[in-house]
C-alpha cells in the first residue's frame, strides 16, 4: 500500500470513528496532494508525497513558533497536534548523531574543505536525508563541520 492509499484509508477510518480533528488534518494534507496531482496530471509517487508531508510539517512548525511567541497556546496546541498526526506518515527521522555521521561522510566524499563549497556538499547530502531530517538542522551541521 502506498502512502496516498494509506492516507485515504486513515481518512475513512477517521470518518467512521468520528475523529474530527484527525479527519480535518488528513483532508488538508490530501488536498495538497490532490492539487499537485492535478497540476502534474498524474498520480504522485511516495517520494513526492513525502515532500508534500515534509512541507506541511515545516509550515506548521513555523506557525507553532509564531503562535508560541504571540502567547496563543490554544492555536499552538492545535498545530502541535496536526504535526503529530502528519509525522506518522513520514519515514523514521534520523537522530542528530546519524545526521552528523552522514554529513561527515558526504564532506569526505565531495572533498569540501571550506564554507565556500557548502553548496556542493548540500546538493550531495540532501538526497541522502530527504524526508528523514530537517533541512535547517542538516545545514547547521554542514556549517559546523566546514569551518
Distance CA 21, CA 78 (A): 9
Query: What is the number of H-type helices and E-type strands within the chain?
Result: 7, 0
Distance CA 123, CA 79 (A): 31
Q: Say yes or no: domain 96-145 is CATH 3.40.930.10.
A: no
Distance CA 131, CA 92 (A): 9
Residue 99 is placed in which grid cell?
A: 545526521
Where are the domains positioned within the chain? 3-87, 96-145
Query: Regarding predicted confidence, which is higher, 118 or 34?
Result: 34
- pTM of this structure: 0.79
Q: Is the pLDDT of residue 16 over 90?
A: yes
Q: Is the pLDDT of residue 8 over 90?
A: yes
Q: Quick one: 3-87 is in which CATH superfamily?
A: Uncharacterised protein YqeY/AIM41, N-terminal domain (1.10.1510.10)
105 — pLDDT class (breaks 50, 70, 90): very high
Amino acid at each position: 500500500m502506498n502512502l496516498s492509499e494509506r492516507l485515504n484509508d486513515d481518512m475513512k477510518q477517521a470518518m467512521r470513528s468520528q475523529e474530527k480533528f484527525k479527519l480535518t488534518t488528513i483532508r488538508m494534507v490530501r488536498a495538497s496532494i490532490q492539487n499537485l496531482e492535478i497540476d502534474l496530471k498524474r498520480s504522485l509517487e511516495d517520494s513526492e508525497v513525502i515532500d508534500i508531508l515534509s512541507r506541511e510539517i515545516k509550515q506548521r512548525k513555523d506557525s507553532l513558533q509564531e503562535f508560541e511567541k504571540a502567547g496563543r497556546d490554544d492555536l499552538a496546541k492545535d498545530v502541535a497536534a496536526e504535526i503529530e498526526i502528519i509525522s506518522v506518515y513520514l519515514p523514521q527521522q534520523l537522530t542528530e548523531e546519524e545526521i552528523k555521521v552522514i554529513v561527515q561522510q558526504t564532506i569526505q566524499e565531495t572533498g569540501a574543505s571550506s564554507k565556500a563549497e557548502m553548496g556542493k556538499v548540500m546538493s550531495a547530502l540532501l538526497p541522502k536525508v530527504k524526508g528523514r531530517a530537517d533541512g535547517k538542522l542538516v545545514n547547521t551541521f554542514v556549517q559546523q563541520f566546514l569551518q
